[in-house]
């Protein structure tokens, strides 16, 4: 289910009507006058060290109630050091914080977020009051930046190391405090080409050597998205001499997008305030006309750009000469938030964001990103800026072509997320792909990026003048930011910001975009930026709400990949599409009534369910459409369609007295086929996948140094995309299970596919799987990964983000949990790690890479084991000694009666009538079918194994291997055995296999890892309650009695004309959201002055009267 966006924003004043504004300003005036007349008093300032003498609670019976004990799972920020995360779908458990580890440079800094804005001088007083006194244990950190005199909603505190957990606990449970989180450090954010580690492409190597990363600091927080990546054609050179030679023939992106046509109309960005959060800019740079303000938020006390990233970004937006920017007359506000060493901190960004809100910038470019969509203070501050009508534009990331690599904040719905394309009108290979992974495992991701723009070999400004070529989504983002600034200046200055907001601008860009013919929706979003079409759309814009995509044709290939690649059918797991609602009518809205589906021809074969956000804020919301086939459509083959209808309600506009309403129609089309036979249906387990950023879930291939985390979602439409493509080409139908094993009918599927599972298993799941295999004929294919306690402790590292030493929550997979699941079948994996290349028969041309996998420790009688010569990576990591061993890594087992049928007959519902037991396949590694770190794929092996599990057929060529001379029970070689082949087969017969050299791994203790904090299955005190199976309310659809008209809108600039909002009942009460800053100060300036004047007059008269009375008494 999509994220339900929180609305907890507490700022200095609110837009809740003139009466409350007057009351607020009356109170403010009283406070100001009281302070003036009351004289000075001693107060705590930010530079003063405030210390802690005692913590309450050691001698007192104090009960603390968490201030936010129920937050949706996707919204919750699960910090690595102090997490109170949920382990079940229905409850939130408050986990005790862990103590601080030994810090680097003794910096245990925490961000204390308050529930309201206040003068920064009050922060120390409040914290001291909460903690019960002053002492040497903590001090307030001075933030000497331009926002120091502004009200703020957070404080930065340095705490003595051994008191961190007490500090966090007492502050977190106080009603004044919203949250307490570690200060996050974002190191090594810029990567020049010389700094990038070369790709390891020498696949002729037999073994990838392990490199010790234990002393490395991996910063997976915010970063500048990389400038240069190799695209499909060539490397973009950044050599100075070459760039100067190319200068005379540089491709001007402004020319490609026809910006000159708007310049000829005197549209140049004048009056638009653009903020650039980056590395700074020289004040006297010859390319820029209007540098209105430069501010430094770092600790280096300089405003200059020592790296060139900020200068380049500013040039793409606003350069007036040489390499031309889009809007040369914009007012540039330069925020230097990164040091010359490419370093930044959360608090620097939060202060800079607050200042941007205060200075009322219009557009903000963020050419930064990272995978941590749980970075709560950062994410919420971005929402806050959007709520204050700042259009935020951000790079989607440079982690392509892998799917599931979207960066935050570009993956937030209120932000315009920008991907990159090359000059061949194709999505660039470096550009990150969707879907969003916030919603996994139980839901499905949203569409991102929103739009794509030129990001390959774009020209921009150098630090001291001149131009250079760079590539990346860092480049594409300012292309869109410059275009947005140019478009904004095309509207009359007096009224432009009554029309323009984050939603209306996104509507403009998306509705005018050109869909690229060869790229899908998760690669290009809603298409390529079309500047002139956006201009035409904006000139006729009427505030309205819309949904994107405007129409949902799930048969449109390749654009609607993956939906168009697999039809739906009866008994299939419902598919879900999460559409985004854009509310150009106001910052807050809601659905006026529940959505409905009106069927078209054959639409009654569908059953539809809806879920949606309760409030549309800020400017955006979501609607989730679930689809499945009714029993009447079990044998239908063809397309069905209909239309989804709903209305969006929002607050009255300026000068209006009644709310606005937009009626939305979304055409829907989907392909239905008869239910496939059971042997063609595969169920992919998504529920038991865990990933970063919820915890430290390490990479699957230990020799990969530049990416320590497993963060791509482990979904068939993200890093298992290639596997999904092959499965569809082979004729399999793939369904995704986002719930426990108790929630599917095993009789519908031939094979349950478990790949790289990190989650624990409920005891009920283990029992059901045993029953499904033995009684329902379900087969199981397991692709495991490495797990070794000593190695897990070896590869722990100090995370600069959280100031904590991280030990992995699991290995590459949770082998102890998998062993529990497989124990009823007599199968287990071992605790050693192996690595190397393999092929299963001499004539095979391709080799596959077994990358940091595990071996089989035990296997039951009647099975087949395949042994391989592999390097023992455990020895190499722990003792630096590479040793080869001949170990079993692949096992096949049939539990069926030898006389029983191998494949059962199938009914029209896809339910097999065969009740013979199923088959088991286990393989010790998943890297060769995972796109994330894949070097030599093994899809040929996957095909053979699925042929075995679904049909009982063994590939004779693939498994015609020599028999090793191995002891069936021990797996050890005999003294007289001949030299063994690199790959060999052992048929167990009546004997079981149990290795004396491989031990089953045990779970790491809770004190060393955070798995129980993030697990949906098991917590520190035991198993969580078994969650209920998702039973969405699917409504049967009545057969249409009259034809309906469907208008299919492909987002290629042919958007329909917007209609004016409908006026509804004026008696309806409509409340604005609490805590939103609005930029309409002119509406209450005169009343404010009148009220303040009256207050000052009354106070003056009261003081003067009191003085006269005192004088009179003295005279008497």
Task: Point out the residues that are catalytic.
Answer: 278, 309, 474
Instruction: Decide if 283 contacts 303 (C-beta within 8 A).
Output: yes
Instruction: Take residue 517 and report the two structure tokens written for it.
Output: 């013919």
Place of tokens 């009518």: 585
Q: How far is the C-alpha of 756 from the C-alpha of 441, rounded, in Å?
A: 14
Q: How far is the C-alpha of 301 from the C-alpha of 727, rounded, in Å?
A: 57
Instruction: Decide if 462 contacts 539 (C-beta within 8 A).
Output: no
Q: Is 591 exposed, middle or buried (0-12, 13-18, 19+ CB in 10 A)?
A: buried
**E strands, 533-636, where?**
545-548, 552-553, 575-583, 589-591, 596-599, 606-612, 620-629
How many residues belong to the chain?
1116
List the Cα angle 563/472/720 in 5-degree steps: 35
On the CB side of 548, CA atoms within 13 Å amount to: 31
Instruction: Decide if 862 contacts 851 (C-beta within 8 A).
Output: no
Instruction: Take residue 467 and report the two structure tokens written for it.
Output: 């131009």
Specify the pairing of strand 779-783 against strand 919-923: parallel
Look at residues 783, 689, 684 and name the one whose alpha carbon lies nearest to residue 732.
684
DSSP state of 338: S
**E strands, 830-952, where?**
834-838, 848-853, 856-859, 864-872, 883-894, 919-923
Q: How far is the C-alpha of 750 from the C-alpha of 916, rounded, in Å?
A: 12
DSSP state of 39: -
Q: Is 166 exposed, middle or buried (0-12, 13-18, 19+ CB in 10 A)?
A: buried
Q: How far is the C-alpha of 392 from the C-alpha of 274, rounded, in Å?
A: 10
DSSP state of 551: S
Q: How far is the C-alpha of 154 from the C-alpha of 632, rounded, in Å?
A: 58
Look at residues 931, 923, 930, 917 and name the one whose alpha carbon lies nearest to residue 891.
923
Instruction: Decide if 243 contacts 469 (C-beta within 8 A).
Output: yes
DSSP state of 666: E
Number of neighbours of residue 1089 by Cβ within 10 angstroms: 11
Place of tokens 């692949």: 890
DSSP assignment of 106-169: G--EEEEEEEEEE-GGGHHHHHHHHHTS--TTEEEPP--STTTTS-EEEEEEEE-GGGHHHHHH
Q: How far is the C-alpha of 123 from the C-alpha of 140, rounded, in Å?
A: 8
Phi, then psi, of 603 in degrees rounded to 5: -65, -15
Instruction: Decide if 675 contacts 569 (C-beta within 8 A).
Output: yes
Instruction: Decide if 46 contacts 120 (C-beta within 8 A).
Output: yes
Instruction: Decide if 68 contacts 43 (C-beta within 8 A).
Output: no
On the CB side of 905, CA atoms within 13 Å amount to: 2
Instruction: Take residue 302 and report the two structure tokens written for it.
Output: 């300089």
Instruction: Take residue 109 and report the two structure tokens written for it.
Output: 């800094």
Q: How far is the C-alpha of 525 from the C-alpha of 540, rounded, in Å?
A: 24
């Amino acid at each position: 289910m999509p994220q339900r966006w929180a609305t907890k924003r507490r700022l200095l004043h609110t837009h809740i009507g003139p009466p409350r504004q007057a009351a607020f300003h009356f109170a403010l005036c009283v406070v100001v006058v009281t302070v003036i007349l009351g004289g000075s008093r001693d107060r705590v300032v930010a530079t003063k060290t405030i210390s802690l003498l005692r913590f309450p609670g050691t001698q007192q019976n104090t009960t603390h109630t968490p201030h936010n004990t129920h937050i949706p799972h996707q919204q919750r920020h699960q910090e690595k050091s102090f997490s109170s995360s949920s382990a079940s779908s229905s409850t939130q458990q408050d986990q005790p914080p862990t103590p601080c580890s030994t810090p680097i440079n003794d910096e245990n800094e925490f961000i204390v977020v308050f529930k309201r804005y206040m003068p920064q001088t009050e922060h120390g007083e409040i914290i001291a009051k909460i903690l019960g006194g002053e002492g040497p244990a903590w001090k307030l950190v001075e933030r000497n930046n331009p926002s120091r005199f502004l009200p703020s909603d957070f404080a930065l505190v340095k705490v003595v190391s051994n008191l961190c957990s007490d500090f966090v606990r007492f502050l977190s449970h106080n009603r004044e405090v919203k949250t307490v989180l570690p200060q996050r450090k974002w190191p090594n954010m810029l990567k020049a080409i010389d700094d990038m580690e070369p790709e390891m492409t020498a696949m002729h190597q037999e073994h990838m050597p392990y490199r010790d990363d234990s002393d490395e600091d991996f910063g997976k927080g915010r970063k500048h998205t990389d400038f240069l990546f190799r695209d499909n054609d060539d490397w973009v050179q950044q050599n100075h001499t070459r760039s100067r030679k190319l200068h005379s023939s540089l491709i001007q992106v402004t020319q490609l997008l026809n910006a000159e046509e708007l310049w000829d109309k005197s549209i140049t960005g004048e009056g638009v305030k653009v903020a650039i959060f980056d590395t700074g800019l020289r004040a006297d740079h010859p390319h820029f006309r209007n540098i209105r303000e430069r501010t430094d938020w770092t600790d280096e006390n300089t405003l200059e750009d020592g790296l060139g990233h900020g200068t380049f970004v500013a040039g793409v937006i606003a350069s007036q000469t040489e390499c031309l920017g889009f809007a040369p007359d914009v007012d540039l506000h330069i925020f230097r938030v990164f040091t010359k060493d490419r370093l930044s901190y959360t608090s620097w960004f939060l202060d800079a964001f607050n200042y941007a809100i205060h200075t009322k910038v219009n557009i903000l470019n963020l050419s930064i990103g990272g995978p941590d969509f749980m970075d709560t203070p950062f994410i919420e501050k971005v929402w806050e800026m959007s709520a204050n009508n700042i259009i935020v534009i951000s790079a989607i990331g440079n982690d392509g072509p892998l799917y599931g690599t979207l960066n935050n904040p570009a993956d937030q719905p209120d932000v315009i997320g920008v991907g990159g394309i090359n000059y061949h009108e194709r999505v660039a290979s470096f550009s990150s792909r969707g879907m969003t992974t916030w919603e996994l495992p139980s839901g499905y991701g949203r569409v991102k990026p929103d739009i794509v723009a030129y990001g390959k070999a774009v020209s921009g400004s150098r630090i001291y003048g001149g131009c250079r070529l760079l590539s990346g989504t860092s480049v594409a983002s300012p292309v869109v930011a410059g275009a947005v600034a140019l478009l904004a200046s095309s509207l009359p200055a007096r009224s432009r910001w009554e029309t323009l907001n984050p939603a209306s601008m996104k509507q403009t860009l998306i509705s005018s975009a050109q869909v690229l013919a060869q790229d899908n929706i998760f690669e290009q979003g809603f298409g390529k930026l079309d500047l002139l079409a956006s201009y035409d759309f904006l000139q006729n814009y009427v505030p309205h709400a819309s949904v994107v995509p405007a129409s949902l044709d799930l048969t449109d290939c390749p654009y609607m990949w993956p939906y168009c690649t697999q039809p739906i059918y009866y008994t299939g797991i419902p598919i879900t599409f999460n559409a985004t609602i854009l509310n150009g009518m106001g910052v807050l809205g809601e659905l006026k009534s529940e959505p409905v589906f009106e069927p078209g021809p054959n639409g009654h074969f569908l059953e539809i369910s809806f879920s949606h956000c309760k409030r549309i804020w800020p400017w955006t919301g979501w609607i989730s459409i679930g689809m499945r086939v009714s029993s009447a459509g079990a044998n239908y083959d063809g397309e069905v369609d209909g239309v989804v209808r709903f209305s969006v309600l929002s607050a009255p506009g300026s000068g209006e007295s009644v709310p606005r309403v937009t009626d939305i129609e979304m055409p829907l089309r989907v392909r239905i086929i008869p239910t496939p036979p059971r042997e063609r249906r595969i169920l992919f387990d998504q529920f038991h996948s865990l990933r970063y950023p919820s915890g430290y879930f390490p990479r699957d291939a230990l020799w990969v140094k530049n990416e320590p985390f497993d963060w791509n979602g482990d979904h068939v439409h993200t890093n298992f995309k290639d596997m999904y493509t092959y499965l569809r080409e082979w004729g399999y139908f793939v369904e995704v299970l986002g719930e426990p094993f108790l929630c599917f009918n095993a009789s519908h599927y031939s094979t349950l596919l478990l790949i790289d599972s990190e989650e624990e298993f409920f005891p009920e799941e283990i029992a059901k799987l045993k029953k499904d295999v033995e009684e329902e004929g379900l087969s199981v294919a397991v692709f495991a990964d490495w797990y070794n306690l000593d190695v897990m402790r070896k590869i722990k590292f100090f995370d600069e983000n959280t100031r904590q030493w991280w030990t992995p929550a699991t290995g590459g997979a949770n082998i102890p949990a998998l062993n529990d699941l497989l124990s009823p079948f007599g199968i287990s994996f071992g605790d050693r790690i192996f690595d190397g290349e393999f092929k299963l028969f001499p004539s095979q041309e391709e080799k596959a890479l077994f990358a940091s996998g595990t071996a089989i420790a035990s296997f039951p009688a009647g099975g087949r084991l395949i042994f391989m010569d592999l390097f023992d990576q455990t020895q190499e990591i722990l003792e630096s000694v590479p040793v080869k061993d001949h170990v079993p890594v692949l096992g096949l087992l049939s539990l069926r009666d030898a006389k029983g049928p191998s494949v059962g007959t199938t009914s029209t519902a896809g339910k097999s009538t065969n009740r013979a037991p199923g088959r088991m396949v286990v393989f010790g590694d998943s890297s060769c079918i995972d796109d994330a770190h894949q070097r030599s794929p093994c899809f040929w092996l996957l095909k053979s194994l699925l042929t075995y599990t679904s049909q009982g057929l063994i590939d004779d060529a693939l498994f015609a291997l020599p028999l090793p001379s191995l002891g069936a029970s021990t797996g050890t070689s005999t003294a007289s055995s001949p030299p063994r082949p690199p790959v060999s087969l052992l048929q167990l017969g009546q004997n079981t296999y149990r290795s004396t050299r491989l031990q089953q791994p045990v779970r790491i203790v809770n004190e060393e890892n955070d798995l129980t904090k993030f697990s949906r299955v098991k917590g520190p005190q035991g198993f969580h309650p078994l969650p209920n199976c998702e039973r969405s309310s699917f409504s049967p659809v009545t057969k249409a009695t009259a034809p309906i008209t469907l208008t299919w809108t492909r987002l290629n600039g042919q958007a329909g004309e917007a209609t004016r909002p409908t006026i509804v009942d004026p008696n309806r009460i409509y409340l604005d959201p609490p805590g939103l800053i609005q930029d309409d100060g002119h509406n209450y300036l005169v009343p404010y002055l009148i009220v303040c004047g009256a207050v000052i007059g009354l106070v003056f008269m009261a003081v003067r009267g009191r003085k006269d009375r005192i004088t009179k008494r003295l005279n008497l």
